[in-house]
Structure 1
């Protein structure tokens, strides 16, 4: 018997689940669409989706399973839920920031957070910054935090300079 993932985030889209999933899979390595279901005639009087339209699309981003659902316009994403992308280098930050923010809401970009063109929120997080915040030297960690609060896309070198007390 095949093991089924116990927890899988389900992302509710209006009608663009397939487009969103293809977009996300193009950004993250080790990503793929694993299954797709379609609406049939059953329940059409309730869901009002055309027969043959994608109902759910199962996919993996860097090995993490997700489901995309075309559920209609009733619900929208908001910042209460976001996905963190942990990055070791500035090159990774630049890649994920640039691709995920393309076509998204520029007003929703602050402190490493962005909103993509589908309305989903992401946090592009430099692992070195998280290490700075864990420092037992709270003066240093607070300087890094203050610098981060002024940024949109996070800059590891600028955060390090703030942590080190350099201007």
Structure 2
């Protein structure tokens, strides 16, 4: 367990979520499952209470805490994708609400938000040529799933005045 880990609150789906996430990301596994020793507001004795798991080498905890605190977009997990193939793979696996997605952000079937970001995007946005960076950002703002080729073409485009 890392000194600091991310703790995720689920409404009875902690085990399903941990299984799904650990099956999706390399270097991931479930470390332990804690069962409730007694009845509690969101479950019964013997139910899965908490799961410790690792995603991509980082520690997470999943709690079956009940419906009181659903996920919001204020917190998201960001995936560093090396290429379009990886963007496409994670997008397919995680996108549960395509009509609501924007700028590389998706919400999965458990309500958790993810940013599926190709390495090329922050590189383009940080380009010292600010006009080039602006063109890349303007293109990104029109996208749901990030398309690296379209971003690169927009960044290279010259405007004539």
Question: What is the TM-score when the length of structure 1 is the normalising length?
Answer: 0.91
| Match runs of 1:52-63 below 5 Å | 52-63=46-57
List structure 1 runs of 4+ shifted beyond 6 angstroms. Answer: none
The change in CA–CA distance for 1:13 and 1:48 in structure 2 (over 3 A counts) is: closer
- Tell me if the contact between 2:48 and 2:64 (Cα under 8 Å) persists in the aligned partners: yes
Q: Name 1:157's counterpart in structure 2.
A: 149
Q: Name 1:108's counterpart in structure 2.
A: 100
CA deviations 1:8-57 (Å, max 9, x no partner) are 1000001000000101111101100001101122xx2x525111111100
Aligned length: 159
| Match runs of 1:11-50 below 5 Å | 11-41=8-38, 44=39, 46-50=40-44
Q: Name 1:78's counterpart in structure 2.
A: 72
C-alpha deviation, 1:120, in angstroms: 0.2
| Match runs of 1:105-144 below 5 Å | 105-144=97-136
C-alpha deviation, 1:6, in angstroms: 1.2
- Tell me if the contact between 2:81 and 2:118 (Cα under 8 Å) persists in the aligned partners: yes
C-alpha deviation, 1:106, in angstroms: 2.2
Unaligned runs of 5+ in 1: none
The change in CA–CA distance for 1:31 and 1:144 in structure 2 (over 3 A counts) is: same
C-alpha deviation, 1:166, in angstroms: 6.7
